[in-house]
Chain A
Amino acid sequence: MKQFLTFVKKEFLHVLRDKKTLFILFGMPIVQILIFGFALTNEVKNSNIVVVDYAKDIASQEIISKIDASRYFEITKSLAGSATLEAAFKTGEIKMAIVFPEGFNNQLLHENKAQIQVIADASDPNTATTLTNYVSSIINDYQAQLNETNPVPYQIKPEVKMLYNPQLKGAPNFVPGVMALILMLVCVMMTAISIVKEKEMGTMEILLVSPFKPIMIILSKAVPYLLLSMVNVITILLLSVFVLDLPIAGSILLLFAESTLFIITCLTLGIFISIKTDSMQTAMLISLLGMLLPTLLFSGFMFPIENMPLPLQWFSNIVPSKWYYIIVKNVMIKGLGFSYVWKETLILFGITIFLLIISLRSFKIRLA
């Protein structure tokens, strides 16, 4: 144990001595959070929505078929009541709901104006805004159609409600994404490089000849980065609460537990890369291309996964950051409990165990 602590202490010294590493470690989260503050726009296609039709009259049916015909929407089901709506939003099955009040057509004909309620999941504010804009324009279109033949103008007013993130802050979308990105970068790249560096410098040989167990070398490499990553998680959360005014809706404890799990996933990945490579450059390249890029592309943080071709959608399932991103979004922004994220947690856990087993196996092969 004392040997282990000696080793961990040495790893900390390495990190603290290296100004560049320190900057990457602690400067990057801050820079990223600020850079990603500029919202990203993206087109949204085939979003799952739900229609609750209390009116069931000609006007409501016509609008529904118009929406259904649009390539932006996929009406998954028509619910009878609004009781199940909330559940559908929480599981993330639907992005938007459209509610027609009772007697919609009557009201429109007699009072010349009627209202439609549009509820969107604004934890992803870009998507929510885009979707509500599409719906509004479809409704406007229908309105214009009616008014062509009628001397007295009709007025249909969509009443938009943004769920979870009423002010449509851009932050909710990118904070979980940046968390996934930073942890990936710090854990995977830094761990991989720090182990490969010992190989390159020739110090690994000395360590292997010493009575210190190889598995302990790996462990003591991982511990400092686990702690430093926790510091990063705290930094990002503090920034998002105090600088971006984005409160943490769910349990902080759960958020930390999930983050720890993801950090371990990343550390395992880093260790795996370091076992397979012998030079720092290779390790860095693999970490960047193999880990960062998929995180950017396939976590759903920048580009909606629903829009991708099917094979890419399947591929996104093996990207650990995707699951972490979903978890953080649900816990931090929607304020959901463990019962809503257990599936994602289980998948992440499975990926970690799988990586751990193959790393340990290839580590043994390397030693033999």
Chain B
Amino acid sequence: MSKKVISCKGLTKRFGDFTAVDSITFDVDKGEIFGFLGANGAGKTTAMRMLCGLSNPTSGEATIAGFDVYKETEKIKKSIGYMSQKFSLYDDLTVQENITFFAGIYGLSDKAIKENSAALLKQLGMEDQANKRVGSLPLGWKQKLAFSTAIIHKPEIVFLDEPTGGVDPVTRRQFWDLIYEASGNGITIFVTTHYMDEAEYCNRVSIMVDGRVEALDTPTNLKKQFGLATMDEVFYHLAREAKRGE
């Protein structure tokens, strides 16, 4: 059996009377691409915040890269990368400055920053753009750069919160190539998305409805389980049962 890098059991978050995340239980293996699906308001973001060590669970257990989400949030933060839906590099800094900054706040040594950023630029084929302001780059490039920057410190897990929102299909496809490459290098990918074609790219997919994980399996098995042809139909089938709106 392969190594579990994310493991949660009965993880719950309540805000007063409202149970945002209702006792979710799942494991994610090393190098896996794990799709975390759910309609808006299903509790994805809250769950992800707990896994990133940003907010304390109300009850339940979880370990990220072997560290406890209650006590070892600092260690968790060092072992994960994060990229959000909102584009998250600084437009007024150059490509190189952005990379240096994010590598710097993860405490990488000067030597490591130099080596890693050179490798990153080479991988993206952006050596010529290193001294250009990020604001002047096309969105697709920015997105890829943001992803590469999020894993510059070689984390065990990278959390992607709707990373391809508002990006054209070609760029999305290229973005997923990067994800596969990272996964091939042993980085676990935890990704939320609203695009069901992207759900098909994942090794396993979980679907959250009203704070609970309603389904969790490979895309193929999920389709078989519900007797439906596409992930889109599976998602719709589950999500329309939702009681809470946005």
Tell me the A residues contacting B by CB distance below 8 Å: 2-3, 6-7, 9-10, 13-14, 17-18, 201-203, 205-212, 368
CB-CB under 8 A for A368 and B92, given A2-B107, A209-B80: no
- Give every chain A residue within 8 A of B40 (Cβ-Cβ): none
Q: Is B82 a contact of A209 with CB atoms below 8 Å?
A: yes
Q: Is B97 a contact of A211 with CB atoms below 8 Å?
A: no
Tell me the B residues contacting A by CB distance below 8 Å: 52-56, 74, 77-78, 80, 82-93, 97, 100-102, 104-107, 133, 150, 159
Q: Is A211 a contact of B78 with CB atoms below 8 Å?
A: yes
| Chain A-chain B contacts (Cβ-Cβ < 8 Å), number | 73
CA distance A203 to B84 in the complex (A): 9
Sorted nearest first, the 6 A-B pairs with minimum C-beta distance are A202-B86, A6-B104, A209-B82, A211-B77, A17-B92, A212-B105
Q: Is B105 a contact of A205 with CB atoms below 8 Å?
A: no
CB-CB under 8 A for A14 and B88, given A210-B77, A211-B77: no
Q: Is A14 a contact of B92 with CB atoms below 8 Å?
A: yes
* A-B contact list, 26 entries, CB within 8 Å: A2-B104, A6-B101, A6-B105, A10-B90, A10-B101, A13-B92, A17-B93, A17-B133, A201-B88, A201-B91, A202-B85, A202-B86, A202-B87, A205-B82, A205-B88, A206-B82, A206-B84, A206-B150, A209-B52, A210-B77, A210-B82, A210-B102, A211-B77, A211-B78, A211-B105, A212-B105
Q: Interface residues of A: mostly helix, strand, loop or mixed?
A: helix
Quote the shortest CB–CB distance from A232 to chain B (angstroms): 22
- Give every chain B residue within 8 A of A18 (Cβ-Cβ): 92
Most buried by B among A18, A209, A212: A209
- Give every chain B residue within 8 A of A6 (Cβ-Cβ): 100-101, 104-105
Q: Is B107 a contact of A206 with CB atoms below 8 Å?
A: no
- Give every chain B residue within 8 A of A2 (Cβ-Cβ): 104, 107
CA distance A208 to B54 in the complex (A): 7
CB-CB under 8 A for A368 and B105, given A13-B92, A14-B92, A202-B84: no
CA distance A63 to B77 in the complex (A): 79
Name the residue on A nearest B159 (C-beta).
A209
Q: Is B74 a contact of A211 with CB atoms below 8 Å?
A: yes
- Give every chain A residue within 8 A of B150 (Cβ-Cβ): 206
CA distance A209 to B106 in the complex (A): 10
- Give every chain A residue within 8 A of B77 (Cβ-Cβ): 209-211
CB-CB under 8 A for A13 and B97, given A3-B105, A211-B74: yes
Q: Is A201 a contact of B86 with CB atoms below 8 Å?
A: yes
Q: Is B52 a contact of A203 with CB atoms below 8 Å?
A: no
Quote the shortest CB–CB distance from A7 to chain B (angstroms): 6
Quote the shortest CB–CB distance from B35 to chain A (angstroms): 20
- Give every chain A residue within 8 A of B56 (Cβ-Cβ): 368
CA distance A111 to B43 in the complex (A): 97
